[in-house]
Amino acid sequence: MRPLTEDETKAVFEKLANYVGKNLVHLIDRDEDDQYCFRLHKDRVYYLPLPMLAQATSIARPNLISLGTCMGKISKSGKFKLGVTCLDWLAKYAKYKVWIKPAGELPFLYGNHVVKAHLGRITEDTPEHQGVVVFSMADIPLGFGATARSTVATKDLDPSGIVVFHQADVGEYLRDEETMF
């Protein structure tokens, strides 16, 4: 487990900023008693408290499987891909949110895009191609994606038009459980 390089840190923060915006500061600057850090282990980026990091130094690298919250994976080309395991942090600090109707929850959890017919609410002034967190109408985070259209353009869309492109959902815990960790 090692600290991120400058290029890796830039890739991680750019991707996170697409979803949480200026709230990224809340992930980095915390109270002195509640310090967190980002670490890389086997091409996966983890977000963990400093006391946990201190305890992990007593575990040999080959024996360490996971630690803290897995935020995503860095590819061989240096690009960062967010994982569904970071959904709790994204939901807490998300700048733009989308709520879907109960009829649209299951299609989204099977990996389909959100269409206008399933859209319950959307944050005002959401731009096109912006990262959003998808919630149920009961405020339960279901996944995240990128908007296909802005809030203004969504109002004129037909019911089968795509509003949010699917990127990850909590159904992946069942579909990809062998390869997730």
- Sequential pLDDT tens for the chain (181 residues): 889 999 999 999 999 999 999 999 988 888 777 889 999 988 999 999 988 888 888 888 888 888 889 999 999 998 999 999 999 999 999 999 999 999 999 999 999 999 999 999 999 999 999 999 999 999 999 999 999 999 999 999 999 999 999 999 998 887 777 776 6
Rounded Cα distance, 66 and 135, in Å: 27
Distances (CA, A) of 159 to 118, 132, 162: 8, 20, 8
Please check whether residue 11 is in contact with residue 80, taking contact to mean a CB–CB distance below 8 angstroms: yes
Question: Taking the domains of the chain in order of start, what are their residue ranges?
Answer: 2-89, 96-175
Closest CA to 1 of 42, 48, 35: 42
Closest CA to 91 of 107, 118, 69: 69
Structure-token pair, residue 14: 């750019």
pLDDT at 180: 63
Rounded Cα distance, 135 and 127, in Å: 18
Domain 2-89: CATH architecture, name and number where available: Roll (3.10)
Please check whether residue 94 is in contact with residue 86, taking contact to mean a CB–CB distance below 8 angstroms: no
Rounded Cα distance, 67 and 10, in Å: 21
Amino acid at site 41:
H
pLDDT at 181: 61
pLDDT at 120: 94
Domain 96-175: CATH architecture, name and number where available: Roll (2.30)
Residue indicated by tokens 């390869």: 179
pLDDT at 66: 84
Rounded Cα distance, 80 and 161, in Å: 29
Rounded Cα distance, 171 and 143, in Å: 9
pLDDT at 57: 82
